[in-house]
Structure 1
Amino acid sequence: MNPIPAPEVPEAHGRPTAAHLPHVAVSGPLTAEAATVPRQQGGSLDDETPDPARQLPTSPETADHLDHPDPRRAADAAAIENLLRCWVRENNLAPPDGNTLRIPLHASGTALLVPVRYWSATGWHRFGLPSLESSPHDATTTDAVTVAALLGREAGGAEGTDLVGRVADSVQRTAQFIAHRRRLPAAPEAADLFLSAEQSLLLGHPLHPTPKSREGLSDAESRLYSPELYGAFPLHWLAVDRSVLAGDSAWTERGRTLAAEQLTSRLAGDLQVPGDCAALPLHPWQARDLRHRPAVAALLDAGLLHDLGPHGADWHPTSSVRTVHRPGAPAMLKLSLGLRITNSRRENLRKELHRGVEVHRLLRAGLAEQWRAAHPGFDIVRDPAWLAVDTPDGEPVPGLDVMLRHNPFHHGDDAVCIAALTSPRPWPGRTGTHSRLSDTVERLAARTGRPVAAVAAEWLLRYLDQVVRPLLWLDATAGIALEAHQQNTLVLLDPEGWPVGGRYRDNQGYYFRQSHRDALERRLPGIGRDSDTFVSDDVTDERFAYYLGINNVLGLIGAFGAQRLADERVLLAAFRRFLATHVRLGSPLPTLLLEAPTLRAKANLLTRLHGLDELVGPVDTQSVYVTIANPLVS
């Protein structure tokens, strides 16, 4: 069989390089006092940026517990920091007067005493190991499971016991990842840059209580299916009778639309498929789990499904675990995976499958050309085809489906999700734990002879221009806000490490503004009918402010600060100035971030304690949100 050609998606006009961008300098002296109003032109970052070592509070501790020689101790310390960051944000705790944060635990009659290594204006705090108040001075510090139990009891959540179990699971897996990466810090030589980046996110979301929890995955399965362990495996294949086959495709080749079953047939290669059936790829774990579900067993018994087993070359899990990639292949596959990863079982919903194709059609109907003219370096990674299974009565069978995703990344394309860029990990040729961000900025500073803090500020400015500005344009022009959190947002880096473009991925994370329904309907008649994508403007504003403003940009600023690359106050001032210059663009987000004294942020700990699955139910009630002070105005 011939390989699948890439779908006909007009790409950005060439891949931009650093030569396309002028040297970015902030107008005016960029200091903490530049927080409120834009300044006059002139000035340079090189001399105006304060030394972060003099600005950031530091506890007497010097050793970083993430570098502990025992991987279990390092993983436990990372989990404790995550839990404490969540608690501080979700309870609006103020910074301590000294180097110790006291967290009262009224339900347990005690308090946690937490050494503060770094207090972040944006929530990326660094903490030492806590102890219980009134415990003997030589008593051991508390571990992550104990902290989870104490905080769960204090919050009064119904899922406190479940939280403890998932924290333990996340710690165990993180320890395995750290130990493995210390032995093999560099990905296999054959891996492409995109895959190497996707498999580098060891610690996960810094404000999630269980970022690496994967309930139901055995140790042997973890070795095969974990991106952090350089996992690889062949797909498991089913043959689906066409009478129960569902699907849609806007994937085109030489001006001709290919059906989704044609695409999966090519991926199946020389696999022998019974007549009048289509080949459906599954994740191996999902295939094993599905056979125990009554609806699937009935289809197998009726001869409408045929189990063909594993077949073909290896595919590699990306950072989401369930989306798989094969270097050089024109398609990635977003598979259903019933594991509970962090807060949700990762099975595709039918409306999400419709949404991916719908967005591709919308962009192809003229919006993409308009967008590329304004921002040639940015695009959405398209999801133009899907295949699934229905019952004989026409009802969707959960978990039996695949989304075919365009793979726009070639071997040399350095596309990195922001979560992987900022996450600490063992680094080749260096001792201790570092992030790709710190390595990049420090390398640029050494090459240019400029201060690290000045390079960090310029890197952020280029990122805002190349990644954030196109997202604001899409909201302003089309009324589409993207759930552009750090794992869904990819930055394209030139060979030196400067941002030169970006991509967004995720067929789940679209918010079509209700106020733009008529205009979007004119662009694509029937839009939203099957995808359930229209959302009220109020909810859209809240979610866009969280995902792009708080999680993405403020999270990036927090990483710069916590990793001692720059003073967060200076970077916040740079972000203010960027927002001020884009207020007239038309998106409500710049004004909201500049003027609102408080913002709404997703509370991952409370979401877990309430037992919520973030993929189930109406978009405005899937997660718990809390009110936090806006660091851009405080």
Structure 2
Amino acid sequence: MTTVTGNDSALDTERIAESATVNGILRCWVRENGVQVPESVDLHLPLKVASTAVCAEVRYCSPTGHHRFGDVRFPSGAAVNAVTLAALLTAEASAGNTSDPAAALDLVERVADSQRRTATHLRERQAELDASPDTSPFLAAEQALVLGHPLHPTPKSRVGWTDSEAAAYSPELCGSFQLHWFAADRSVVSGEGAAVDRLDGFAPETPEGMVAVPVHPWQASEVRKRQSVEALFDAGLLRDLGSSGPPWYATASIRTLYRPDAPVMLKCSLALPITNSKRENLRKELLRGAEIDRLLDAGLAAAIADAHPNFAIVRDPAWLTVDLLPGSAEGESGLEVVLRDNPFTPQQQVVCVAGLLAERPDVGRSALGTLIARLADRVGTTTAEVAERWCAHYFDELIAPVLWLYREHGVGLEAHQQNTLVSLDVDGWPCGGWYRDNQGYYLSETRVGELEEYLPGVGRAGDNRVDDAVIDERLSYYIGINNLLGLVGAFGSQGLADERRLLAVLADRLRPFADLTLVRNLLNEKTLRCKANLLTRLDGLDELVGPLETQSVYVDLANPFVEGECTA
């Protein structure tokens, strides 16, 4: 992908967006098909269905799959753009299988939409010369993902949003907006964790006997199209209070809203397809977050603090929703909202890992690049040496507690980079960490009896008692591949360190946890099970729907901890 240094006023946002999109598609294709990337010649991909081939310039060959590709061309020399490449690879992947044709068309449409929006993000952020200096470190990192997931074919697709809606609601565009509010009769309101009381400080007045329900403004319009919700309005059980209050900001997940001075964040339902699923809260997820909060209160939080005092879990202690009338076909109303604790002060150096690593062509380099360069200058050594020390600190503060929690208590955390927050000291070294996400808790079926000593029946309401083999596969991906290999890939692809040296550092850190199956797999197995984002989109799967075991497509990936080849 094209790299840019400095604030170039002539930044070619269309070209960079095109390159970023092509790179994402090719990285997915290489990873999901076990293609070896050559280090010194072009990548050649034969396409049997189209009776042709494409050739991609290899600018950086990454052991972890974070390759950089330049121009992509047909054998004739004609250029291949991102949408054409998506169509060709979709046809190739679909040949001979039962993929839904509509899903294939949808994928190509989303590729085009993602590319267009990426160009907009770059153009608007370049015009503003990055976020306001008054923006908190937490929010700045949440707004930093202008390019998105480097191993996803459609990371910035927002099909369903107009440009004006995207300007208001996108974290990449630093949008802000008032909450929309409905008033719901208490007879149709469900919740936990004293949710109504937690809203008291900023909820509007409601008619007697009704409760104020916060709604993302886009979702407020969306649910009014649903017959089941309109039935509540017709019955006088739901009233529209309109928008009010100070502005809120979208975090990296888009649907979780943040205000620096508010004691809570709001994880709203949003019926918008983002990456691999529509982002509406399911009832079991609401129950899961509150149940984990009770488990932590019952003694698990104290156990974590004793073993790893610098690591904690961001709580989702309360939720609120409006129930549909009996006989409604839908399960949820679309008005589900989680009240997440906001434990961070505006000045606190706690940042989303994905945002820290995110490439920033609009400002020249990632926040990670700036931080490592500053540390190298302060310490008086090379960025490569600082990178090795930084990664070791990172593992100790963020990954070791997650592995410890699974080993000691049978609780698995879906700790991918967007769910992981790193605390930085005044110099920029990792000094602590947080995990967030009410969806991403796995309770080991074989260990749940121990957890019931804290909280009887835990895992039933949240429907997250899971077979150990499934947990090992999922955590191997989320912790090992997405988080750790993604960290290494960011350092390497951004020219900050040698990936193989960082892999060796992390392997040394992993070895004390080798009694865990997932760690033994990371250290010893030739292949790892890896989520395939392109194939998941091609199959039209929604990662929030259906049994955990079948929500995503998984493929075998050559293990970079073992293999030295440029596959992945």
Q: Give the TM-score band, short-chain normalised.
A: over 0.9
Larger radius of gyration: 1
Aligned to 1:618: 547
With structure 2 as the length reference, what TM-score do the two structures score?
0.95
Corresponding position: 1:315 with 2:259: no
Offset of residue 97 of structure 1: 6.0
Distance 1:372 1:300 in 2: 47
Offset of residue 192 of structure 1: 1.4
Offset of residue 326 of structure 1: 0.5
Offset of residue 108 of structure 1: 0.6
Q: Residue by residue, what CA displacement relative to the aligned partner does 1:365-421 show, whole Å, maximum 9, x if unpaired?
A: 111111101111111100000000112439753311210000011011111112111
Offset of residue 215 of structure 1: 1.4
Question: Amino acid of the residue matched to residue 55 of structure 2?
Answer: L
Distance 2:192 2:327 in 1: 15
Aligned to 1:120: 62
| Kept in 2: contact 1:238–1:279 (CA 8 A) | yes
Aligned to 1:56: none
Corresponding position: 1:335 with 2:268: yes
Corresponding position: 1:146 with 2:146: no
Question: Amino acid of the residue matched to residue 609 of structure 1?
Answer: L
Q: Residue by residue, what CA displacement relative to the aligned partner does 1:315-338 show, whole Å, maximum 9, x if unpaired?
A: 011111110000121100000011
Match of 1:239, SS state, is strand
Aligned to 2:485: 554
Corresponding position: 1:83 with 2:11: no
Aligned to 2:509: 578
Question: Amino acid of the residue matched to residue 539 of structure 2?
Answer: H
Pairs within 5 Å for 1:348-367: 348-367=281-300
Query: Is the alpha carbon distance of 1:402 and 1:62 closer, same or farther for their aligned partners in structure 2, counting shifts above 3 Å?
Result: closer
Match of 1:128, SS state, is strand
Offset of residue 63 of structure 1: 8.1
Pairs within 5 Å for 1:18-417: 69-96=11-38, 98-133=40-75, 135=76, 137=77, 139=78, 141-156=79-94, 157-158=99-100, 159-249=103-193, 259-268=194-203, 271-393=204-326, 396-417=331-352
Corresponding position: 1:589 with 2:518: yes
| Kept in 1: contact 2:56–2:73 (CA 8 A) | yes
Distance 1:293 1:485 in 2: 34
Offset of residue 530 of structure 1: 1.3
Offset of residue 582 of structure 1: 2.9
| Kept in 2: contact 1:95–1:101 (CA 8 A) | yes
Q: Can you give the 5+ residue segments of structure 2 that lack an aligned partner in the other structure?
A: 564-568
Corresponding position: 1:533 with 2:464: yes
With structure 1 as the length reference, what TM-score do the two structures score?
0.85
Match of 1:352, SS state, is helix
Question: Amino acid of the residue matched to residue 179 of structure 2?
Answer: L
Match of 2:53, SS state, is strand
Distance 1:91 1:457 in 2: 31
| Kept in 2: contact 1:244–1:394 (CA 8 A) | no
Aligned length: 553
Query: Is the alpha carbon distance of 1:264 and 1:63 closer, same or farther for their aligned partners in structure 2, counting shifts above 3 Å?
Result: closer
Offset of residue 62 of structure 1: 9.1
Match of 1:589, SS state, is helix
Offset of residue 589 of structure 1: 2.6
Distance 1:560 1:287 in 2: 41
| Kept in 2: contact 1:377–1:466 (CA 8 A) | yes
Question: Amino acid of the residue matched to residue 512 of structure 1?
Answer: L
Corresponding position: 1:485 with 2:420: no
Query: Which stretch has the larger CA shift, 434-443 or 378-387?
Result: 434-443
Q: Residue by residue, what CA displacement relative to the aligned partner does 1:72-128 show, whole Å, maximum 9, x if unpaired?
A: 111011000000000000000012263200011111111110000011111111110
Q: Residue by residue, what CA displacement relative to the aligned partner does 1:346-379 show, whole Å, maximum 9, x if unpaired?
A: 0000000001111111011111111101111111
| Kept in 2: contact 1:357–1:384 (CA 8 A) | yes
Distance 2:473 2:257 in 1: 31
Offset of residue 272 of structure 1: 2.5
Query: Which stretch has the larger CA shift, 231-240 or 575-584?
Result: 575-584
Query: Is the alpha carbon distance of 1:291 and 1:97 closer, same or farther for their aligned partners in structure 2, counting shifts above 3 Å?
Result: closer
Question: Amino acid of the residue matched to residue 122 of structure 2?
Answer: I
| Kept in 2: contact 1:185–1:426 (CA 8 A) | no
| Kept in 1: contact 2:13–2:123 (CA 8 A) | yes
Give me the identity figure in percent.
53
Offset of residue 590 of structure 1: 2.0
Distance 2:336 2:529 in 1: 34
Pairs within 5 Å for 1:413-562: 413-426=348-361, 433-562=364-493
| Kept in 1: contact 2:3–2:361 (CA 8 A) | no
Q: Residue by residue, what CA displacement relative to the aligned partner does 1:276-326 show, whole Å, maximum 9, x if unpaired?
A: 011000000000011110110000000000110101111011111110000
Question: Amino acid of the residue matched to residue 337 of structure 1?
Answer: L
Query: Is the alpha carbon distance of 1:354 and 1:62 closer, same or farther for their aligned partners in structure 2, counting shifts above 3 Å?
Result: closer
| Kept in 2: contact 1:243–1:392 (CA 8 A) | no
Moved over 6 A (4+): 61-64
Distance 1:197 1:560 in 2: 17
Distance 2:225 2:261 in 1: 35
Distance 1:408 1:394 in 2: 40
Query: Which stretch has the larger CA shift, 67-76 or 159-168?
Result: 67-76
| Kept in 2: contact 1:191–1:327 (CA 8 A) | no
Q: CA RMSD in A?
A: 1.7
Distance 1:265 1:477 in 2: 39
